Structure 1
Amino acid sequence: MTDRPKLILASGSPRRVALLNQAGLDADMLLPTEIDEMPKKGERPRVLATRLARAKAEAALVTASRDQKLKGSYILAADTVVAVGSRILPKTELEDEAAQCLRLLSGRSHRVYTGVALITPKEKLRERLIETRVRFKRLSKQDIAHYLASGEWRGKAGGYAIQGLAGTFVVKLIGSYTNVVGLPLYETTNLLGGEGYPVMG
């Protein structure tokens, strides 16, 4: 079907690309955006996830509107935030940060929020916020050392990737698993389908 509208994913994340593919969707273009992801003072995790997803979508819209071929595309963006209570955990780039996150998550529950923002071809903004509760087992020093050595924590919210070795840390999960990976598929496909983008089913 050649008249299928274009879909832009405002992300360079291989995880989000793989999740879209899992849902039978292919982004026509990836437009990762450089935005400041630092939480504002006192900002709540759910507010941060929503704000950053919207900012990514809007930044991608600015880029897309400069290219005639991309005008009238659907623009999809997401941002995932991991929090313990109201404390927002970083997207870890340093091993010390990741170790600190894992010690904090050990033996307790945390919440994973993903903000999903969709800008339609008519430039309407549609948003969803998805929350999943995750409980980790108590992590031994060996568990943490082994995980840090894997490098899977790099660039991940809360210092872990559930689809890798950290999946063995999860005692209980309430809500969307794909939300924790980085793109809640049920809500994303519903959002796209509700705005006229052709999704399966």
Structure 2
Amino acid sequence: MTDTAAAPAPRIAGAKPDAPPFVLGSQSPTRRHMLEAAGVPVHAADRPGVDEDEVKAAFRADGAGADDVAEALAEMKAQRVAERYGGCLVMGADQMLEVDGAWLDKPRTRDQAAQTLRTLSGKTHRLIACAVVVKDGGRIWHHIDSAKLTVRPLSAGFIDSYLDTVGAAAFDSVGAYQLEGVGAQLFTQVQGDYFTVLGLPLLPLTDLLRNHGVLPS
């Protein structure tokens, strides 16, 4: 479904007048907020409609790594949305969480979120974030990055209290946390780029957008 609630983003001062519109191939509120807070004009945000569970199962059966899955899903999402936005720069993005050699998925229920937190408790896990930009069916750019996060040992009482506090936001991220909020209380150490943890290699993306005149240079 296309995001029709918001008007197309205005051109910003210093951008090239003929720069292609930038489209987000996702309806993730976190990614859109991150982009708009950084001054990136988002022309539209559209749901890609990719069956992530099916793709992950196929890659798992082939013995692929989490990085390969993140890149493949990001490109699938971008290509799917780009079919509806000719001439635009369309970005797809994906994030994978790997712990003890296993991949975790976004929780869909409170019980699943609690299980995710129990799994991460006292361990270091890896977050992989990949973004792919396509235009008119061709991939023109991609970037992949990872970060390591160490979760302190979490008591059952803390997990319950935390989930009471964050509510449905626990279902918005693969680890059931948002580092930019109360989720910071889960960790003893974070190694890597902050924006990668949030789900998008933002700084390399802004370089690309400057090169295409979407952002001022």
Deviates more, 1:79-88 or 1:114-123: 114-123
Are 2:99 and 1:84 equivalent residues in the alignment? Answer: yes
Are 2:143 and 1:128 equivalent residues in the alignment? Answer: yes
Are 2:114 and 1:99 equivalent residues in the alignment? Answer: yes
Q: Residues 24-35 of structure 1: matches in 2 within 5 Å?
A: 24-35=39-50
Partner residue, 1:167: 184
CA–CA distance in structure 2, aligned partners of residues 134 and 200 of structure 1: 34
Q: What is the CA-CA distance between 1:16 and the residue it aligns to?
A: 0.6
Q: Residues 1-201 of structure 1: matches in 2 within 5 Å?
A: 2-38=17-53, 39=56, 40=58, 41=61, 42-64=63-85, 71-120=86-135, 123-149=138-164, 150-151=166-167, 152-194=169-211, 196-201=212-217
Unaligned runs of 5+ in 2: 1-10, 12-16
TM-score normalised by length of structure 2 = 0.82
- Per-residue displacement from partner, 1:3-43 (whole Å, max 9, x unpaired)? 33201100111111111112210210111111111213233
Q: How many residues align?
A: 194
| Counterpart contact for 2:25–2:45, Cα < 8 Å | yes
Percent identical: 28
Q: What is the CA-CA distance between 1:192 and the residue it aligns to?
A: 2.9
TM-score normalised by length of structure 1 = 0.88
| Counterpart contact for 2:25–2:46, Cα < 8 Å | yes
CA–CA distance in structure 1, aligned partners of residues 19 and 43 of structure 2: 10
**Following TM superposition, where does structure 1 have runs of at least 4 consecutive aligned residues deviating by more than 6 angstroms?**
none
Unaligned runs of 5+ in 1: 65-70
CA–CA distance in structure 2, aligned partners of residues 128 and 147 of structure 1: 33
| Counterpart contact for 1:82–1:158, Cα < 8 Å | yes
CA–CA distance in structure 2, aligned partners of residues 197 and 108 of structure 1: 43
